[in-house]
Chains A and B, each alone.
Chain A
Amino acid sequence: MTATVFTNARIVDPSRDLDETGTVIVANGKIQAAGADARNQGAPDGAEIIDCAGKLIVPGLVDSRVFIGEPGAEHRETIASASHAAAAGGVTSIIMMPDTDPVIDDPALVEFVLRAARDTAVVNVHPAAAVTKALAGREMTEFGLLRQSGAVAFTEGRRTIANPVTVRRALTYARDFGALIALETQDADLAAGGVMNEGLYASWLGLPGIPREAEVIPLERDLRLARLTGGSYHAAKISTAISAEAVGRAKNDGASVTAGVSINHLALNEIDVGEYRTFFRLSPPLRAEEDRLAMVQALRDGTIDIISSSHDPQDVDTKRLPFADAATGAIGLETLLAVSLRLHHNGDVPLMRLIEALSTAPARLFGLPGGTLAPGAPADLALVDPGYPWIVQEADIRSRSKNTCFEGARLQGKVLQTMVAGRTVFQA
């Protein structure tokens, strides 16, 4: 395999708390060295030398929440198309949600995904398996066998498990296998019929609201069950200030819990829905500006551990409808890093913390090999021009679906090159 040497790069590697100008040497698919001290190690024979001119090199992003249409809805997204979108966004590992058709609740499906990924994907694709069979919220799936076949975590995807006994058993049983349970929470009855954040904006639009309590009540339940069982629980997509408080309390009490937030809930709020723009219909719904600010604060102080894209491709047939009839979800793989960099550019979150939440922390949490530029690690990295201004345009989107919340948005920061295991999978 060829070798590559990136010289004159600003290297930000949260796994070693390293932010310095230096050289990254990639050989045989692995990081040979990365840092100021790599400058005088010399280049491997025949290495391609890339002068980064001070641009940024970070460990490739690890996106823990990616919905893909394969199997079952390949017209929205395939594993291959999602992987190309990921590569263009500097994302080198994705964790794929199990709400496909059929549901990933059986080792054979995990193997199918891994095979399809091996044959067609350009980034690392890790399936997460369902917590319950067919995502029906009743019988547990085979955590042991699923893990053995390659499932990296267990989640119900978009669904919330209604029965607390099921959550309790899953957390208890998963503990024996060292498996992580990652759940979104939304009480089906409190949220029934709701399509956007409850409040003044929904009231003026005449849209039924979803109260914050619909998220935090089942979340509090799960956090208590995590404490009770000692199982590892990840609150996958919190959106409200009171949810962040609940997670913070559980962490202080010593529970084995972590939290994630989607980039949409860090960057947008309910006002972005505007005049019924269905691309902004998300689950959980975009909340008030106070909630968004609380998400940013919780990310900065570590209450929230990781950021995901919550990439959710939807087609015109599910989005070109009246707001209340449209599906939830937005794509996000390609814009994840650039939108996150907004928080760095405006001084809300330090760059090191951002990259940690986008790469190092999710890799660690889900037990994946990436998220670091330490010598010996797989050479999963992104070369980024953090100041490059660009405008998101539908025509440039690689994802099969175009339902982005950032169409026409002016972003600052562009991925120039993405490498997975030393192989360049994207070049701007």
Chain B
Amino acid sequence: MSHTATFPLFPHRHLLGIQGLSAEDIELLLDRADAAVAISRQPEKKTGTLRGRTQINLFYEASTRTQSSFELAGKRMGADVMNMAVGSSSVKKGETLIDTAMTLNAMRPDILIIRHASAGAAALLAQKVGCSVVNAGDGAHEHPTQALLDALTIRRARGPLGKLTVAICGDVLHSRVARSNIVLLNALGARVRVVGPSTLMPAGIERMGVQPFTSMKDGLKGADVVMMLRLQRERMAGAFVPSVREYFRYYGLDAEKLKLAKDDALVMHPGPMNRGVEIASEIADGPQSVIEEQVEMGVAVRMAVMEALLDPRRNAEAAQ
């Protein structure tokens, strides 16, 4: 993207969550991402806008999809990308997050992408390092690039989000994707519903800017977007819901339940999917599904985010 200067300067140094971003900040990232989609669809996919910059991916939780999406995004812009193999390094030998952060910081990266099982880990890291930090998922807190890619997917398919009704379905309690989406969709003026069994709803959900439903029938009625969440295996058998078959019967998205939403409602899933648990295969692969687009938008959004955070105009400002 040689037209960097046509976008306004993104006013934040890190992307730790959607919380704290204004509607303008979000729209700016989505506009930048739109431009990045075009680049990714060219035969020549390299931009060179991050040439000479160092990106470190620090993934404490295994995530092939998100990590490779960030890696590809960095490489398309010419950054040097390093994946820290957390599982095999000193981190496994008990080095604390902060010590690892200090070590990485000494290598003078320009941007750190972190995923960690503990809520607040990205914010903690951001306090200790001198470079930009992107939260690629921290516990059940936030996963901002996922919410951005979801918004981009919706916007490209349906236009501005302000008039839409979005139903987020499933394990909201443990989902950082749900939290980031709730904040983002509210910021852009969408009507947000959450649908799921009460055992999978966080305390105070009714005060989180959403309309909660315990039945798919009510929750999906007239929805423009149906966003399914992943149900972790360890939560399926007895702990939060009695069984997979009962969960699928009441909360799995199948053709019958999808009929309740608008005829052209978009079906989304952040992946990886549990087919036959939260979503039927025929729906995941069906005409209303935009799950593959979401993956494509993921790369574009991550390009946009990193480029916005490492905007050369910021360095120029700092140098003055």
Are A and B co-members of a single complex? yes
Chain A interface residues (CB < 8 Å from chain B) = 198-200, 202-209, 211, 275-276, 317, 320-325
CB neighbours of B97 from chain A (8 A): 321-322
Do B204 and A199 touch across chains, with their CB atoms under 8 A apart?
yes
CA gap between A418 and B15 in the complex, in Å: 50
Do A276 and B124 touch across chains, with their CB atoms under 8 A apart?
yes
Interface assignment of B176: CB less than 8 Å from any CB of chain A: yes
Do A207 and B139 touch across chains, with their CB atoms under 8 A apart?
yes
Do A203 and B203 touch across chains, with their CB atoms under 8 A apart?
yes
Do B207 and A207 touch across chains, with their CB atoms under 8 A apart?
no
Do B139 and A203 touch across chains, with their CB atoms under 8 A apart?
no
Do B176 and A206 touch across chains, with their CB atoms under 8 A apart?
yes
Give the contacting residue for A324; candidates B96, B118, B208; CB below 8 A: B118
- In the complex, which residue of chain A has the Cβ closest to the Cβ of B173? A203
CB neighbours of A205 from chain B (8 A): 119-120, 141
Do A200 and B96 touch across chains, with their CB atoms under 8 A apart?
no
Do B98 and A204 touch across chains, with their CB atoms under 8 A apart?
no
Give the contacting residue for B142; candidates A199, A206, A208, A321; CB below 8 A: A206
Q: Which of B132-173 contact A (CB under 8 A)?
A: 138-142
Task: Enumerate the 5 nearest inter-chain pairs by beta-carbon distance, A residue then B residue, closest first.
Answer: A276-B120, A206-B141, A200-B204, A322-B118, A206-B140
CA gap between A323 and B141 in the complex, in Å: 12
Most interface-central of A202, A205, A209 (chain B CB within 10 A): A205
Do A322 and B203 touch across chains, with their CB atoms under 8 A apart?
no
Chain B interface residues (CB < 8 Å from chain A) = 19, 96-98, 116, 118-121, 123-124, 138-142, 176, 179, 202-205, 207-208
Do B119 and A203 touch across chains, with their CB atoms under 8 A apart?
no
Give the contacting residue for B116; candidates A200, A204, A322; CB below 8 A: A322
A-B contact pairs, 17 of them (CB 8 A): A202-B202, A203-B203, A205-B120, A206-B119, A206-B179, A211-B203, A275-B123, A321-B96, A321-B97, A321-B98, A322-B119, A322-B124, A323-B119, A324-B118, A324-B120, A324-B139, A325-B118
Q: How far is the CB of B183 from chain A (nearest CB, A)?
A: 9
Q: How far is the CB of B173 from chain A (nearest CB, A)?
A: 8
CB neighbours of B176 from chain A (8 A): 206
7 extra interface residue pairs, beta carbon distance < 8 Å, beyond A207-B139, A276-B120, A321-B124: A200-B208, A207-B141, A209-B203, A275-B120, A275-B123, A276-B124, A324-B139
CB neighbours of B120 from chain A (8 A): 205, 207, 275-276, 322-324
CA gap between A204 and B203 in the complex, in Å: 10
Q: How far is the CB of A399 from chain B (nearest CB, A)?
A: 22
Give the contacting residue for B203; candidates A198, A206, A321, A325; CB below 8 A: A198
- In the complex, which residue of chain B has the Cβ closest to the Cβ of A198? B203
CB neighbours of B140 from chain A (8 A): 206-208
CA gap between A205 and B208 in the complex, in Å: 12
CA gap between A275 and B19 in the complex, in Å: 12
Give the contacting residue for A320; candidates B96, B138, B141, B205; CB below 8 A: B96
CB neighbours of B139 from chain A (8 A): 206-207, 322, 324
CA gap between A379 and B124 in the complex, in Å: 48
CB neighbours of B202 from chain A (8 A): 202-203
CB neighbours of B118 from chain A (8 A): 322-325
Q: How far is the CB of A309 from chain B (nearest CB, A)?
A: 26
- In the complex, which residue of chain B has the Cβ closest to the Cβ of A321? B96
CA gap between A205 and B96 in the complex, in Å: 21
CA gap between A208 and B174 in the complex, in Å: 9
- In the complex, which residue of chain A has the Cβ closest to the Cβ of B142? A206
Most interface-central of B118, B139, B208 (chain A CB within 10 A): B118
CA gap between A198 and B138 in the complex, in Å: 19
Q: How far is the CB of A198 from chain B (nearest CB, A)?
A: 5
- In the complex, which residue of chain B has the Cβ closest to the Cβ of A275? B123
CA gap between A317 and B179 in the complex, in Å: 30
CB neighbours of A208 from chain B (8 A): 140
- In the complex, which residue of chain A has the Cβ closest to the Cβ of B98? A320
Q: How far is the CB of B15 from chain A (nearest CB, A)?
A: 15
- In the complex, which residue of chain B has the Cβ closest to the Cβ of A276? B120
CB neighbours of A275 from chain B (8 A): 120, 123
CB neighbours of A321 from chain B (8 A): 96-98, 124
- In the complex, which residue of chain A has the Cβ closest to the Cβ of B99? A320
CB neighbours of A203 from chain B (8 A): 202-205, 208
Q: How far is the CB of A358 from chain B (nearest CB, A)?
A: 34
Give the contacting residue for A199; candidates B121, B138, B141, B203; CB below 8 A: B203
